[in-house]
Amino acid sequence: MVTLRRITPGSAFRVGLWFGIVVASIQIIIFTLILLLVFHMPLHGLRFDVFIRICISIFMSGFSTGLTAWVASLIYNGVSRRFGGLQFELDYS
């Protein structure tokens, strides 16, 4: 039986940041394809300022997810210090 006692907040933030960036990028790609294919929006309709807003929203989504993971790791560390960590069994065979 292995006990997970502590999650470092920095690593939780990095994982959350990159997870949020990847998920937001996939969502924006799907939404852009829907605009281009279903609604027959021309490609020149996506101007440079739209591209900048997309980049900012991807970064903000990643930052928000990273911040959420950071707070969750702080809460988990406090609870695991008081009541014990998450226990799970690893099979090395």
Yes or no: say if 88 and 1 are a contact pair by the CB < 8 Å rule. Answer: yes
Question: Per DSSP, which regions of the chain are E strands?
Answer: 2-4, 86-88
Contacts of 42 by beta carbon, 8 Å cutoff, 6+ apart: none
- Mean pLDDT across 39-65: 90
The 10 Å Cβ neighbour count of residue 69 is 21
Q: Predicted confidence band at 35 (pLDDT cuts at 50, 70, 90)?
A: confident
Q: Is the pLDDT of residue 46 over 80?
A: no
- Mean pLDDT across 12-16: 97
- Mean pLDDT across 72-80: 94
Give dist(CA 76, CA 78) in Å, integer: 5
Q: Would you list the domain boundaries of the chain? A: 2-88
Looking only at Cα atoms, what is the longest distance across the chain?
58
Q: Which residue has the higher pLDDT, 88 or 24?
A: 24
Indicate the pTM of the whole model.
0.81
The 8-class DSSP code of residue 16 comes to: H
